[in-house]
Chains A and B, each alone.
Chain A
Amino acid sequence: MTKRDRTPKTYTRLTRPLVRDSRDEPFRETSWEDALERTARGLRRHRGAFGMFSCARATNEMNYVAQKFARVVMGTNNVDSCNRTCHAPSVAGLSAAFGSGGGTSSYEEIEHTDVIVMWGSNARFAHPIFFQHVLKGVRNGARMYAVDPRRTSTAEWADGWLGLNVGTDIPMAHAIGREIIHAGLANEAFVERATSDFEAYRALVEPWTLSLAEKVTGVPAAAIRELAHAYARAERAQLCWTLGITEHHNGTDNVRALINLSLLTGHVGRYGSGLQPLRGQNNVQGGGDMGAIPNRLPGFQDILDPAARLKFESAWDTVIQPHYGLNLTEMFEAMEEGSLKAVYCIGENPAQSEADSEQAVRRLRSLDFLVVQDIFLTRTAELADVVLPATAGWAETDGTTTNSERRVQRVRRAVTPPGEAREDIDILCDLATRLGHGWKYADAEAVWNELRSVSPDHYGMTYDRLERHQGIQWPCPSTEGLEPAHLHGRLWERDPERRGRRAPFGLVRHDPPVDLTDEEYPIRLTTGRRLDSYNTGVQSGSFASPLRRGEFVELCPEDAEHYGVVVGEEVRVSSRRGSVVAPVWIDTALRPGLAFMTMHFPDEVDTNQLTIEANCPIAGTAEFKASAIRIEKLPAPAYVR
């Protein structure tokens, strides 16, 4: 057998619109006029059964226009983006606790804190420059704890690594909470003044003794106790998490369980003490902030709030549906049911990024009309009726994006897009015009200024100021001053009036992963990112990374020995949903019964055929982090020594 070709699939830029009359035909190039007319027709046909997939990688300005397109042109709140597949639970959890869905701290604060907890986050790989701030903190003396099933590169820096079972974050968090309460380390003044439901929380965590937690999480009681005491006794502490917390069927509950610890100890709302969900894409934060989510209007304003609706209705001269739209997950379900017939997908690749990707493809195929606007002919675009060539947001357009510390920063056009590719906003406005709304924006700044006029928290951020300050963190209500870089300082105010709404403890219960391991599927597969690759590899596949070695199923040495497999040997990896063939890699960071894969090389090994579409009912995020698999040695060795 020949050696497997490890060169990742590289994609070539789209330079002309593509159309086809039926899905059986190949695409043909066409004019913009033809493509847009077809699109307008397709969308017009399905007003009322329409969904917009906005883009967490595009600018705030584009997301603003996209959600406005959905709400004004298409009259629906069915607008969402791939934040659903990653951090929607963070937003939901933080909003429920504090009324606002952003991380509470800024990066610089982690350099000046005393204890750092990295929970379900391999920031060393996934957020390398944020991790530089973490390491500054560590070099300044902060102690660091890592909670992660794998002993990742991040965990290797930790003073203590807690290798819990996948999906046992809530037992771990509750046991920490109970230990803090029992050791008399809770911040009673803060709990009393700034939180609610403490008694219920106390009762909730009471059964979670250290020894029960040890049994459920697999982590020694002493380790849990050490982390609990370190976090509670710290003068300042930062709790950071990534997809290890959110990509579960109960991701929002996981987030709430972590937030509880900050409420219990008062590690929120102060400089150096806070919560930091690390966002996976350049504008996951901004997409939601701009209203490209089904339940909020731009600037975090609730669709159910009549005053907010009224403001936007008069600003946009339209009527806004007084109910939440469908989120991405629900839109996929609606495709299945047939109630969603047309989708406008901008810059996303759900055919490969969704859990249970076969199902996602089937559902996309069932659409009556699919228009994909992207810079490449992605797997999703291959399913479309019309493909519109767009520009790369970060290098070919002007605008802004918002990062994990809520910093809005300027994106600038540096290169001229190829061929006939057009900017997203330009395409959206052209379509809106064809559909009866004569939108015209002189440039991205004009869009931004419209957003500023309707979003008080962005009002103070003129392009001039963004340039001058190298970005500004929201909230920024005034064009004169700057607010503190951390959120929720109000919780520490003496005056109850200014303190505002109490932060409720989240009364969440342990619920193990849906995809249980058993004799047939004995191995827990978890997923994540590697340092040099990104998501489905469409962007990152094109540069010659010396680190890249393609997709592998990573096993611990003991399991590899058990299955009699060696590095490079191809094995069959099967879950209850699908099956792939992947070569083996051996990683000592894993333990028996735990395997790891990424989704970076779906054209080579489609990992998401294995993952389960078990969704968080609140945020809609799927349980990418916990599938049950089995490993089978292939009959003949499929590798060459």
Chain B
Amino acid sequence: MDLHFGDSKPTDDERAAVDALLGPPESSWEGADRSDADLRWARGGHRARDRRDLLLPGLHAINDRIGWISAGALGYLCRRLTVPPAEAYGVATFYAMFSVAPRPATVLHVCTDLACAAAGASALCSGIEARLGPGSGVSVERAPCLGLCERAPAALAVRAGDPVRTAVSAPAGVEAAVQAASAPDSAPGERPAADAVPQAGDPSLILLNRIGVVDPSSLDDYRAHGGYTALRRAFALGPAEVIREVTDSGLLGRGGAAFPTGRKWQATASRPDRPHYLVCNADESEPGTFKDRVLMEGDPYALVEAMTIAGYAVGAHQGYLYLRGEYPRALRRMRHAVDRARARGLLGDDILGQGYAFDIEIRRGAGAYICGEETALFNSLEGYRGEPRSKPPFPVEKGLFGKPTVENNVETLVNVLPILALGAPAYAAIGTAGSTGPKLFCVSGTVERPGVYELPFGATLGELLALAGVRENLRAVLLGGAAGGFVRPDELDIPLTFEGTREAGTTLGSGVVMAFDDSVPIPRLLVRIAEFFRDESCGQCVPCRVGTVRQEEALHRIAERTGADAAGDIVLLREVGRAMRDASICGLGQTAWNAVESAIDRLGAYE
């Protein structure tokens, strides 16, 4: 491509960061010194343009090393990957974790989202800023949910360098957060993942049974606790039978949309177009959700095994794990697990000697809730802005790189292991007829024991909250996260199933259960939810891009009003909300008004 590059040059560090990812440049056209051979023969074209998907890893490489992305660094990366600088700039500015303006090497992300806000995040933020003072070398950035809700309030420090260093402080106080930011290496270690699982060690657990029991770094320990029996069984059954088992199990997707997993697999497996891809959506960003993080941190090999089975069933030889950028520990654990599995022949050309080839590449998100939308995730993986595509065509037909693709959430995939271990009938016997199997719930807010809970589908909201130790003065429960809906304290008999919540006019979503007492005014929560959607809208379609702004403006106006004073704006909210729900391209805009609507109608938030 006849790309245009400005005069900015990369620094040695920036160049080294990119070369560490891509290897040294092959020719002067890619950024090496000019050689005689280059001036006679240049190879490029399709081959050069085919590496676009390395753009996001390249941006990470620069950001990790330097802390921000300069014009020279971006230009060099573009030259290496044959990507137009304007497009790369569009991509870099899409993600919240990147900066194209200079900033300090250390960024402290302080969560100000619902659970953390309820736990005093705003005081924490101002405390940290006051304590650090100007010129501290730390950039404090208010962040949407960091997925550490069981330890609210939470902060994540990222210090650029080689290697990049991270430290989590949660629950964070001013001192601890400042220490994490100023000396990430010597900050106190993070609590084990099992601490997020109050039921840890309970032998009746199915999905969480190894968490806190096995050493998450040990493949042998994993195998000693039943690991890789499901894959053996899959090989014994063959791909078609695996899909039948999953179909018969009644497994529905756990990412929020509850689509039958077996049908998705079957649809992909039967497409003649090749190759097929498997994508695991680990971009867990719904405020209040942290179960996938706990699974990956506590039982990483389970996900490797489950992805291998899914890949085998749908005829994929390459799997991508798209992991949330704000999950450094999950990233480390998963990288380690994938490397170990590869070293042991559990990934690679000939898995378990069965002649089946499969490998997993881990790609990091960079701070964009929208990338949890399946097609936005494809665009992000391919090196484009994480904007959703219009459907149809659906991913099973044209997904990643335009090829048939299965995309499943982490929890969904992990369910495949017990399905194969127990057999479909036994699995389907768990839960209800419409919602089979066990389900993970992320309980946070005003409860005694926040964390990830596993219950068979069918338990009531009240039972779950009792388990978590609900406190007095319960004012509202948010189900399904920011895209979900509020229910009242007198609705605790709602059964936690897809069909049960639907009947009750609410949603299970991804399994968020956030309890609020009367210490936090509901209108303030709604403003925070509206800010979240405004910040996270990709901007592609008008209803969402402008609608989320108008929604936030209206909620600000009525934050302190009730009754007739709020009535006009509530009409406005309803009308805009209806159009967002009806006319937005993707689930983000379609659900951006859900929680607000439920708070108005169910909680009477402005009465």
A residues engaging B (CB < 8 A)? 124, 138, 141, 143-144, 151, 153-163, 218-220, 222-223, 556-558, 588, 591-592
Mark out the residues of chain B between 282 and 307 whose CB falls within 8 Å of any chain A CB in the assembled complex.
none
Q: Is the CB of A163 within 8 A of B44?
A: no
The B interface is mostly helix, strand or loop, or mixed, namely mixed
Supposing A124-B2, A557-B34, A558-B34 touch, asked if A159 and B45 sit within 8 A by C-beta, the answer is yes
Q: Is the CB of A153 within 8 A of B41?
A: no
User: What are 26 inter-chain pairs, A to B, with CB distance below 8 A?
Assistant: A138-B45, A143-B46, A144-B45, A151-B29, A151-B39, A153-B2, A154-B2, A155-B42, A156-B44, A157-B1, A157-B44, A157-B45, A158-B44, A159-B45, A160-B44, A161-B41, A162-B40, A162-B41, A163-B39, A163-B40, A163-B41, A219-B41, A220-B40, A222-B41, A558-B34, A588-B28
- For the complex formed, measure the closest distance between the CB of B316 and the CB atoms of chain A, giving whole angstroms: 23
What A residues does B46 contact at CB under 8 A? Answer: 138, 141, 143, 159
Q: Is the CB of B2 within 8 A of A157?
A: yes
Q: Is the CB of A156 within 8 A of B1?
A: yes
- For the complex formed, measure the closest distance between the CB of A593 and the CB atoms of chain B, giving whole angstroms: 10
Within 8 Å of chain A (Cβ to Cβ): is B37? yes
Mark out the residues of chain B between 457 and 494 whose CB falls within 8 Å of any chain A CB in the assembled complex.
none
- For the complex formed, measure the closest distance between the CB of A121 and the CB atoms of chain B, giving whole angstroms: 14
Using CB atoms, name the residue of chain B closest to A217. B40
Residue in A143, A153, A220, A556 whose beta carbon sits within 8 Å of that of B45 in the complex: A143
Residue in A157, A158, A162, A588 whose beta carbon sits within 8 Å of that of B34 in the complex: A588
Mark out the residues of chain B between 31 and 58 whose CB falls within 8 Å of any chain A CB in the assembled complex.
34, 37, 39-47
Task: Give the docked Cα–Cα distance between A141 and B37 (Å).
Answer: 27
Q: Tally chain B residues at the interface, Cβ within 8 Å.
A: 16
Most buried by A among B29, B40, B46: B40
Q: Which 3 A-B pairs have the closest CB atoms?
A: A159-B45, A591-B39, A153-B2
What B residues does A591 contact at CB under 8 A? Answer: 39-40
Task: Give the docked Cα–Cα distance between A149 and B5 (Å).
Answer: 22
Using CB atoms, name the residue of chain B closest to A165. B40
Q: Is the CB of A156 within 8 A of B41?
A: no
Supposing A124-B2, A557-B34, A558-B34 touch, asked if A159 and B40 sit within 8 A by C-beta, the answer is no
Task: Give the docked Cα–Cα distance between A521 and B374 (Å).
Answer: 63
- For the complex formed, measure the closest distance between the CB of A127 and the CB atoms of chain B, giving whole angstroms: 14
- For the complex formed, measure the closest distance between the CB of A167 and the CB atoms of chain B, giving whole angstroms: 16
Task: Give the docked Cα–Cα distance between A244 and B356 (Å).
Answer: 52
What B residues does A592 contact at CB under 8 A? Answer: 39
What B residues does A557 contact at CB under 8 A? Answer: 34
What A residues does B39 contact at CB under 8 A? Answer: 151, 163, 556, 591-592
Within 8 Å of chain A (Cβ to Cβ): is B130? no
Q: Is the CB of A156 within 8 A of B3?
A: yes
- For the complex formed, measure the closest distance between the CB of A555 and the CB atoms of chain B, giving whole angstroms: 13
Q: Is the CB of B34 within 8 A of A161?
A: no
- For the complex formed, measure the closest distance between the CB of B49 and the CB atoms of chain A, giving whole angstroms: 9
Mark out the residues of chain B between 484 and 513 whose CB falls within 8 Å of any chain A CB in the assembled complex.
none
Most buried by A among B1, B37, B44, B46: B44
Q: Is the CB of B45 within 8 A of A160?
A: yes
B residues engaging A (CB < 8 A)? 1-3, 28-29, 34, 37, 39-47
What B residues does A558 contact at CB under 8 A? Answer: 34
Q: Is the CB of B2 within 8 A of A219?
A: no
Using CB atoms, name the residue of chain A closest to B45. A159
Task: Give the docked Cα–Cα distance between A151 and B45 (Å).
Answer: 13
Q: Is the CB of A220 within 8 A of B37?
A: yes
What B residues does A157 contact at CB under 8 A? Answer: 1-2, 44-45
Q: Is the CB of B44 within 8 A of A223?
A: no
Using CB atoms, name the residue of chain A closest to B42. A161
Using CB atoms, name the residue of chain B closest to A218. B40
Q: Is the CB of A159 within 8 A of B44?
A: yes
Q: Is the CB of A160 within 8 A of B42?
A: yes
Supposing A557-B34, A588-B28, A588-B34 touch, asked if A160 and B1 sit within 8 A by C-beta, the answer is no
- For the complex formed, measure the closest distance between the CB of A138 and the CB atoms of chain B, giving whole angstroms: 8
Task: Give the docked Cα–Cα distance between A223 and B40 (Å).
Answer: 9
What B residues does A160 contact at CB under 8 A? Answer: 41-45
Task: Give the docked Cα–Cα distance between A124 and B1 (Å).
Answer: 11
Task: Give the docked Cα–Cα distance between A327 and B1 (Å).
Answer: 40
Using CB atoms, name the residue of chain B closest to A161. B42
Task: Give the docked Cα–Cα distance between A157 and B37 (Å).
Answer: 18
Supposing A153-B2, A156-B3, A157-B2 touch, asked if A219 and B43 sit within 8 A by C-beta, the answer is no
Task: Give the docked Cα–Cα distance between A592 and B34 (Å).
Answer: 11
Task: Give the docked Cα–Cα distance between A158 and B82 (Å).
Answer: 12
What A residues does B45 contact at CB under 8 A? Answer: 138, 143-144, 157-160
14 A-B pairs besides A151-B39, A161-B41 with CB distance below 8 A are A138-B46, A143-B46, A155-B42, A156-B2, A157-B45, A158-B42, A158-B44, A160-B42, A160-B43, A161-B43, A163-B41, A163-B42, A588-B28, A591-B40
What B residues does A556 contact at CB under 8 A? Answer: 39
Task: Give the docked Cα–Cα distance between A75 and B34 (Å).
Answer: 60
- For the complex formed, measure the closest distance between the CB of B31 and the CB atoms of chain A, giving whole angstroms: 12
Residue in B1, B28, B41 whose beta carbon sits within 8 Å of that of A223 in the complex: B41
What B residues does A162 contact at CB under 8 A? Answer: 40-41
Residue in A161, A218, A588 whose beta carbon sits within 8 Å of that of B44 in the complex: A161
- For the complex formed, measure the closest distance between the CB of B41 and the CB atoms of chain A, giving whole angstroms: 4
Q: Is the CB of B1 within 8 A of A159?
A: no
Task: Give the docked Cα–Cα distance between A219 and B45 (Å).
Answer: 18
Using CB atoms, name the residue of chain A closest to B39. A591
Task: Give the docked Cα–Cα distance between A290 and B46 (Å).
Answer: 42
Using CB atoms, name the residue of chain A closest to B4. A153
Residue in B29, B40, B47 whose beta carbon sits within 8 Å of that of A219 in the complex: B40
Q: Is the CB of A151 within 8 A of B34?
A: no
Using CB atoms, name the residue of chain B closest to A125. B2
Task: Give the docked Cα–Cα distance between A218 and B47 (Å).
Answer: 24
What A residues does B41 contact at CB under 8 A? Answer: 160-163, 219-220, 222-223
What B residues does A588 contact at CB under 8 A? Answer: 28, 34
Using CB atoms, name the residue of chain B closest to A131. B2
Task: Give the docked Cα–Cα distance between A161 and B39 (Å).
Answer: 9
What A residues does B42 contact at CB under 8 A? Answer: 151, 155, 158, 160-161, 163
What B residues does A159 contact at CB under 8 A? Answer: 43-47
Task: Give the docked Cα–Cα distance between A163 and B2 (Å).
Answer: 16
- For the complex formed, measure the closest distance between the CB of B397 and the CB atoms of chain A, giving whole angstroms: 20
Task: Give the docked Cα–Cα distance between A156 and B2 (Å).
Answer: 5
Task: Give the docked Cα–Cα distance between A161 and B40 (Å).
Answer: 8
Using CB atoms, name the residue of chain B closest to A214. B40
Task: Give the docked Cα–Cα distance between A592 and B39 (Å).
Answer: 9
What A residues does B43 contact at CB under 8 A? Answer: 159-161
What B residues does A144 contact at CB under 8 A? Answer: 45
What A residues does B28 contact at CB under 8 A? Answer: 588
- For the complex formed, measure the closest distance between the CB of A528 and the CB atoms of chain B, giving whole angstroms: 15
Using CB atoms, name the residue of chain B closest to A163. B40
Using CB atoms, name the residue of chain A closest to B2. A153
Using CB atoms, name the residue of chain B closest to A152. B2
Using CB atoms, name the residue of chain A closest to B28. A588
Using CB atoms, name the residue of chain B closest to A164. B40
Task: Give the docked Cα–Cα distance between A542 and B586 (Å).
Answer: 49
Most buried by B among A156, A218, A223: A156
Using CB atoms, name the residue of chain A closest to B40. A163
Using CB atoms, name the residue of chain A closest to B48. A159
Task: Give the docked Cα–Cα distance between A539 and B37 (Å).
Answer: 40
Task: Give the docked Cα–Cα distance between A556 and B34 (Å).
Answer: 11
Task: Give the docked Cα–Cα distance between A138 and B47 (Å).
Answer: 12
What B residues does A158 contact at CB under 8 A? Answer: 42, 44-45
Most buried by B among A143, A157, A222: A157
Using CB atoms, name the residue of chain B closest to A592. B39
- For the complex formed, measure the closest distance between the CB of A355 and the CB atoms of chain B, giving whole angstroms: 27
Most buried by A among B1, B42, B43: B42
What B residues does A151 contact at CB under 8 A? Answer: 29, 39, 42
- For the complex formed, measure the closest distance between the CB of A124 and the CB atoms of chain B, giving whole angstroms: 6
- For the complex formed, measure the closest distance between the CB of A296 and the CB atoms of chain B, giving whole angstroms: 38
